[in-house]
Structure 1
Amino acid sequence: MTKFSTLIGLAAAASLCVSPVLAQTVADSDVPTTSLNIPGNVQIYGDAKANVYRPSATVNGEIITATDIEQRMGLIRVANNNLELPPEEEQRLRQQVFSNLIDEKLQIQEAKAADITIDENLINDQFARLAARYKQTPEQFSAYLASKGSSAAAVKQQIRGEYAWDRLLQRNIQSTTNVSKEEVDVIFDRMMQSKGQDEFHIAEIYLTATPENIESVAENARKIVQALQAGGSFAAYARQFSEASTAVVGGDLGWVRAGQLPDTMADAARQMQPGQLVGPIEVPGGVSIMLMVDRRQVLTADPRDAVLSLKQISLEFPAGTSEAKASELAGQFAEATRGIAGCGAAEGVAQSLGAQVVARDNIAMRQLPPPLQATLINLQVGQTTQPFGAANEGVSVLVLCGRDLPNTVAEPNREEIENRILEEKVNKRAQRYLRDLRRDAVIDFS
């Protein structure tokens, strides 16, 4: 159940829990009162120095330095295309990174106390896979990270922490967590009763607000939206900024129906298409930014459930290609590939362009990015998509060689339901576990 959330490798963080607690749906009247003896007319004595952000700490005797924090900040910049944040937003992010580093230190310490060791070869292999996503060797990737204010050591430490925590959860929580047949039956029956209803796979970034500060909070949300529209990672921003319980899974709410959402979010969801981003939306207790990951009708056949056979023709751009030159090359590529008549002609066209061809079968359409799904739904077998790509990589088209459409929808898979319930239980127990570690830790800020 390893879930790598390394900020430069967020694409790997695909494991998400189902039906998490929606913190923003709690009405004011439902907010529990504390059991602390706090007077209504609180008066603060002394100065506020204890609350001032300090860029280093000792966690149970182990040091977190200001350099550690800045190198993790560098990772976030790498993951988000080197976006520059407003000073106040960057400071808030730095504080969150500091908090995350403290949690990571506690997780590694707890794993060590349980005699859990992580093979360094495993960490190096994961680092090499991350480097490969950037089309670099580990040595090149290390130099690239250093140029962005981070380091290979920072990445490897985060990988180490995630492996250690995952192994600890497997031993102490997952192995002792069970799902009963009755629990599966409840979800199974609920899905059968919901057949045909719209269901939405949504991710959110939730920011708390009061009537007094909602305008400034909404303005911060708009800045986050602008950063996301410029290419920022939604999961990374959710982890760092969202104040909902779903922040730990990149803001993912899982599959939900309109009735499970606040009215304003439900209204927005009904109008959204996969891949669309909206916000800020005012919700009880604050504002939310919504990303429509996907949508479907429960237990109903959908064209996007098709399984495809594809050929991809790809033309790499020379290093240093400008946006203008990339547009010119893409135009020539589009003209040459537009006339492809069937998959059998793909190799000949590719050879004439100096391009490469890769054939792939059994590709689930839902695995593809939403814009490509929208294109492929309307293609006939033998036709090609519009060109797509990036100036620093190249340009590609997909040729549709075959499409297997779902004719019927089977009943819900009981094993999948059981696995999702188990994952939800493990995630909730893991949050309580980490909360207890924080409570018992000796942390000295300096």
Structure 2
Amino acid sequence: MNFRKVGRLAGAGMISLALASMAGAQDLDERMNSAGVLNLPDNPIIYGQALPPVVKATAIVNGEVITATDIEQRVALVLASSEATATSDQLNQLRQQTLRNLIDETLQIQAAQREEIELTAAEISETLKNVAERNGRSITELEEYLRGSGSSLRSITRQIQGEMAWARLRQAKIESTVTVGDDEVDEIIKKLEASKGTTEYRVSEIYLASNPSTDAQVRERAQTILEQLGQGASFGALARVHSESTAAIVGGDLGWLRPEQLPEQIAEAVVQLRPGAVSIPIAIPGGYSIIAVQDRRTLLTADPRNALLSLKQITIEFEPGLTEAQATPRVESFAEAVANIGGCGNSEAVASRFGGSVVQSDNIRLRDLPPALQQMMLPMQVGQATRPFGSLEEGVRSLVICGRDEETPGLPSADQVADQINQQRVESRARRYLRDLRRDAIIDFR
């Protein structure tokens, strides 16, 4: 389950009662008799759900409590969203980072409230509904899934509230004060014209701050994150939890950058990484960065991977428990059928022959497809279908190309350049603003 966006809870508490002997207390018979006035049944039937375990405060941020339950449920949410598992040591590190994130989240919500920025329950509910739908679930189904994962609907709702509050606070306090001059835009466009043919990289980052006293610990945490990535964890989900840059809220995505726009140590790694690859932890001033290169492109040069496709996806499904050997004849027959499909218009007939289904999608950029499919589809023509792919559990599929529009490269518009400059300045000021919120906060750790 991937919450985009997402890839960052609170639980109800109870008072734990203890019975202790006290000086001058009544004897056992008297205590038993005192309960007798209640006329309680000997074997009562208990209704309702059991109360949650005792919750202890872990931190109090400007008077607002973050409990151990908040942390555990948020950790469970992270693991569920990234479909990752963690060792005992990794869980401890994740708890510490989650506490830091919850503190930041609390500061952001409090700052928005001080600025009288209101978020309605309807807005939060609508966003929560969208998150559930993106994961193929209703709100009720999402709640059941989270509960089964050790998290709760309240946890993800709190995360949504934090992200929305921070976004509106940035808009009110930062974005509204940032200006970009026409001369700056013109200068950037001139530089882009001069850089035609150079390579840009779509870069994501997990940044961990360190100082001389914490260097060894932070380096070890970076290595642990790298191991989780090697085990298949989502880079974006881990960036949301661990990264200490403001890009964490968008999964560490730094956008398209040229090597000269990056610190030297990171630039050296970026140019050596293939799309989809992740770097080792890189020591930079102030901490460590783990870099992922999501994609690369050549500026102002035609790239066939930028083509917009109109596709039909044919999917055939298999009975649960069917073995690979049992399914092979049907898959081979399906492969032969799509290889000779004879045009997009025959997709429904092929699907019907195999008891399958067809879904149509338009304006799909080729470069947004999985790398293996990109390579397969680059030389394909309109009317051709891919070789079957997928699994017996999730269905075997084939994509039929119904249309293909190649992109004509050109310089970005002045508005696009201004938007990029504006975003960079907003990010820089947002980092300073959050730093100031942390500096001025009263935080009591328990």
TM over 0.5: yes
> What residue is the counterpart of 2:129 in the other structure?
128
> What residue is the counterpart of 2:19 in the other structure?
none
> What residue is the counterpart of 2:442 in the other structure?
442
Change (3 A) 1:63 1:265: closer
> What residue is the counterpart of 2:40 in the other structure?
none
Change (3 A) 1:427 1:270: closer
Equivalent AA in structure 1 for residue 75 of structure 2 = M
Change (3 A) 1:73 1:211: closer
Output aligned runs, 1:61-76, within 5 Å: 61-76=63-78
Task: Report the identity percentage.
Answer: 45
Contact 1:199–1:297 (8 Å) recurs in 2 = yes
Give me the whole-angstrom Cα distance separating, in 2, the residues matched to 1:98 and 1:217. Answer: 16
Report the alpha carbon displacement of residue 394 of structure 1 after superposing the two structures with TM: 2.8
Output aligned runs, 1:35-184, within 5 Å: 56-81=58-83, 83-184=84-185
1:427 and 2:421 correspond = no
Contact 1:299–1:412 (8 Å) recurs in 2 = no
> What residue is the counterpart of 1:29 in the other structure?
none
Output aligned runs, 1:343-382, within 5 Å: 343-382=344-383
Give me the whole-angstrom Cα distance separating, in 1, the residues matched to 2:336 and 2:397. Answer: 12
* Deviation readout 1:178-208 (Å, 9 max, x if unpaired): 1111221222122111110122112233557
> What residue is the counterpart of 2:3 in the other structure?
9
Output aligned runs, 1:376-415, within 5 Å: 376-389=377-390, 393-406=394-407, 408-415=408-415
* Deviation readout 1:364-392 (Å, 9 max, x if unpaired): 22333333222221212222123344565
* Deviation readout 1:240-275 (Å, 9 max, x if unpaired): 334566545433332222344466654554454332
* Deviation readout 1:15-62 (Å, 9 max, x if unpaired): xxxxxxxxxxxxxxxxxxxxxxxxxxxxxxxxxxxxxxx961111111
Report the alpha carbon displacement of residue 162 of structure 1 after superposing the two structures with TM: 1.2
> What residue is the counterpart of 2:26 in the other structure?
none
Residues matched between the structures, number: 397
Equivalent AA in structure 2 for residue 240 of structure 1 = V
Give me the whole-angstrom Cα distance separating, in 2, the residues matched to 1:178 and 1:239. Answer: 29
The secondary structure found in structure 2 opposite 1:57 is strand
Contact 1:313–1:358 (8 Å) recurs in 2 = yes
Give me the whole-angstrom Cα distance separating, in 1, the residues matched to 2:110 and 2:211. Answer: 38
* Deviation readout 1:299-319 (Å, 9 max, x if unpaired): 11111121212111123566x
Change (3 A) 1:285 1:333: farther
Report the alpha carbon displacement of residue 152 of structure 1 after superposing the two structures with TM: 0.3
Give me the whole-angstrom Cα distance separating, in 2, the residues matched to 1:331 and 1:296. Answer: 36
Worse overlay, 279-288 or 254-263: 279-288
Give me the whole-angstrom Cα distance separating, in 1, the residues matched to 2:114 and 2:216. Answer: 47
Give me the whole-angstrom Cα distance separating, in 2, the residues matched to 1:288 and 1:326. Answer: 48
Equivalent AA in structure 1 for residue 376 of structure 2 = T
Change (3 A) 1:187 1:341: same
Worse overlay, 100-109 or 326-335: 326-335
Give me the whole-angstrom Cα distance separating, in 2, the residues matched to 1:323 and 1:436. Answer: 59
Contact 1:317–1:326 (8 Å) recurs in 2 = no
Contact 2:6–2:240 (8 Å) recurs in 1 = no
The secondary structure found in structure 2 opposite 1:274 is coil
Give me the whole-angstrom Cα distance separating, in 2, the residues matched to 1:117 and 1:209. Answer: 35
Give me the whole-angstrom Cα distance separating, in 2, the residues matched to 1:218 and 1:432. Answer: 24
Give me the whole-angstrom Cα distance separating, in 2, the residues matched to 1:100 and 1:282. Answer: 23
> What residue is the counterpart of 1:202 in the other structure?
203
Equivalent AA in structure 1 for residue 387 of structure 2 = Q
Instruction: Please tell me the root mean square deviation across aligned C-alpha atoms, in Å.
Output: 3.2
* Deviation readout 1:284-337 (Å, 9 max, x if unpaired): 77765332211111111111121212111123566x668959975766654543
Worse overlay, 411-420 or 231-240: 231-240
Give me the whole-angstrom Cα distance separating, in 1, the residues matched to 2:147 and 2:444. Answer: 29
The secondary structure found in structure 2 opposite 1:203 is strand
Give me the whole-angstrom Cα distance separating, in 2, the residues matched to 1:263 and 1:109. Answer: 37
Change (3 A) 1:124 1:216: closer
With CA pairs under 8 Å and 6+ residues apart, which has the higher RCO, 1 or 2?
Answer: 1
Give me the whole-angstrom Cα distance separating, in 2, the residues matched to 1:339 and 1:219. Answer: 54
Extract unaligned runs of 5+ from structure 1: 1-6, 14-53
Change (3 A) 1:333 1:302: same
Contact 1:316–1:355 (8 Å) recurs in 2 = yes
Report the alpha carbon displacement of residue 346 of structure 1 after superposing the two structures with TM: 0.7
Change (3 A) 1:11 1:206: closer
Report the alpha carbon displacement of residue 146 of structure 1 after superposing the two structures with TM: 0.5
> What residue is the counterpart of 2:22 in the other structure?
none
Equivalent AA in structure 2 for residue 86 of structure 1 = T
Equivalent AA in structure 2 for residue 433 of structure 1 = Y
Contact 1:316–1:394 (8 Å) recurs in 2 = yes
TM-score, reference length from structure 1 = 0.79
Give me the whole-angstrom Cα distance separating, in 1, the residues matched to 2:287 and 2:424. Answer: 25
Extract unaligned runs of 5+ from structure 2: 8-55
Report the alpha carbon displacement of residue 78 of structure 1 after superposing the two structures with TM: 0.5
Output aligned runs, 1:9-28, within 5 Å: 9-11=3-5
Report the alpha carbon displacement of residue 439 of structure 1 after superposing the two structures with TM: 1.5
Give me the whole-angstrom Cα distance separating, in 1, the residues matched to 2:215 and 2:278. Answer: 20
Equivalent AA in structure 2 for residue 342 of structure 1 = G
Report the alpha carbon displacement of residue 209 of structure 1 after superposing the two structures with TM: 8.1
Give me the whole-angstrom Cα distance separating, in 1, the residues matched to 2:66 and 2:162. Answer: 14
The secondary structure found in structure 2 opposite 1:9 is coil
Contact 1:264–1:281 (8 Å) recurs in 2 = yes
Give me the whole-angstrom Cα distance separating, in 2, the residues matched to 1:431 and 1:286. Answer: 15
Instruction: Kindly name which structure, 1 or 2, has the bigger radius of gyration based on alpha carbons.
Output: 2
